[in-house]
């Protein structure tokens, strides 16, 4: 290339990369830190609110409509489900208290699906139903579904009327007591021999360390079974006007009854479904129609965590004591 060509050629431009600005990096770092701090703050606020107001209120319910009707007149369906124990009693008590405080509630249906349970808890529920009827003047109808045996029937006896579905199993009027004997396990399998120091012969009766003697069985019958059994019979006789004590004793051998058998024996008033129980409440309350509602717990994270904690299996001294201590039950039990 000659000199003239060099003068007319395009100049070569060399591009150098610009230095990246650090400003954006700093900006996003600040945003990230602020986001983390905000999340921590919100979490601490939730903890503070929970600590301030405590766990979810156990006596607060929301209503779910079961049957449409005028909302100024309501019938409340209260569920009595599963094995009856102290927690069952507490739940029934709070729902009855809520219904009793609501002037729009004209009556209650106790929907029973239970084989029974603790004699003491069953008796307390029976008592609360009676108090509700007496203090509010509002009718209560038992509606039996599936199983309403033993303690399930005991609690139903506290109501004005009893309606059972056609496939219901009820009855089982009687008392049962069970406990565990660990003698063979401890002595025969593990080589552990318990030592019991007591102030009197009957102090450790019944004992989980030895099978009961005939004397002990007679003692349990007299002191535990008989009084609780007689109360059950008396409750049924008082609540069923057409039955005498002798009639109830004839039925109170622990037998279960179908809905038809129970109706024929005058243990229940009607066979039908929920609509029949609603009709009974309307008739007893002297009204023609009403909105039918159920009570439910509102969803709560605290309630969920509490329920999970209660459901956890814990083997401690209290659990072992419960396993070895006899419990007098109004329970239809299949061993």
- Tell me the catalytic residues: 150, 203
Q: In what order do the strands lie in the sheet with 176-178?
A: 116-118, 327-331, 176-178
Query: C-alpha distances in angstroms, 188 versus 59, 183, 204?
Result: 50, 7, 21
Rg for the chain, CA atoms, rounded: 34
Contact 142, 107 (CB under 8 A): no
DSSP state of 240: -
Beta-bridged to residue 79, according to DSSP, are 111
- Nearest-CA neighbor of 209 among 235, 241, 183, 238? 183
Residue 281 and residue 199: Cα distance in Å, rounded? 56
Contact 244, 233 (CB under 8 A): no
Residue 288 and residue 308: Cα distance in Å, rounded? 43
Contact 301, 88 (CB under 8 A): no
- Nearest-CA neighbor of 176 among 136, 262, 116, 126? 116
Residue 30 and residue 18: Cα distance in Å, rounded? 24
Host H or E run for residue 8: helix 3-8
Cα distance between the two ends of the chain: 112
How would you class 190 by CB atoms within 10 Å of its CB: exposed for 0-12, middle for 13-18, buried for 19 or more? Answer: exposed
């Amino acid at each position: 290339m000659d000199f003239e060509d060099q003068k007319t050629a395009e100049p070569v431009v060399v591009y150098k990369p610009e230095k990246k600005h650090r400003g954006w990096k700093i900006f996003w770092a600040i945003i990230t830190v602020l986001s983390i701090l905000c999340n921590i703050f919100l979490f601490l606020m939730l903890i503070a609110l929970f600590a301030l107001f405590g766990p979810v209120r156990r006596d607060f319910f929301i209503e779910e409509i079961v049957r449409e009707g005028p909302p100024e007149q309501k019938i409340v369906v209260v569920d009595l489900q599963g094995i009856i124990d102290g927690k069952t009693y507490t739940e029934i008590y709070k729902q009855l208290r809520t219904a009793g405080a609501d002037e729009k509630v004209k009556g209650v249906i106790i929907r029973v699906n239970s084989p029974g349970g603790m004699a003491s808890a069953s008796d307390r529920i029976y008592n609360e139903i009676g108090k509700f009827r007496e203090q509010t003047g509002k009718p209560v109808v038992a509606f039996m579904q599936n199983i309403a045996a033993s303690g399930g029937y005991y609690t139903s006896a506290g109501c004005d009327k009893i309606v059972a579905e056609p496939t219901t199993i009820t009855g089982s009027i009687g008392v049962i007591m069970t406990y565990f004997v660990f003698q063979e396990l401890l002595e025969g399998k593990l080589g552990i021999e318990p030592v019991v120091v007591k102030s009197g012969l009957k102090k450790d009766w019944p004992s989980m360390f030895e099978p009961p003697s005939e004397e002990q069985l007679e003692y349990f019958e007299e002191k535990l079974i008989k009084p609780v059994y007689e109360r059950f019979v008396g409750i049924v006789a008082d609540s069923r006007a057409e039955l005498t004590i002798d009639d109830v004793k004839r039925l109170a051998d622990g037998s279960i009854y179908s809905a038809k058998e129970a109706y024929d024996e005058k243990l229940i008033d009607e066979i039908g479904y929920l609509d029949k129980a609603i009709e009974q409440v309307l008739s007893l309350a002297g009204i023609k129609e009403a909105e039918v509602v159920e009570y439910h717990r509102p969803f709560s994270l605290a309630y969920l965590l509490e329920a999970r904690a209660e459901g956890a299996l814990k083997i401690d001294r209290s659990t072992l004591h419960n396993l070895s201590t006899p419990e007098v039950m109004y329970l239809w039990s299949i061993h």
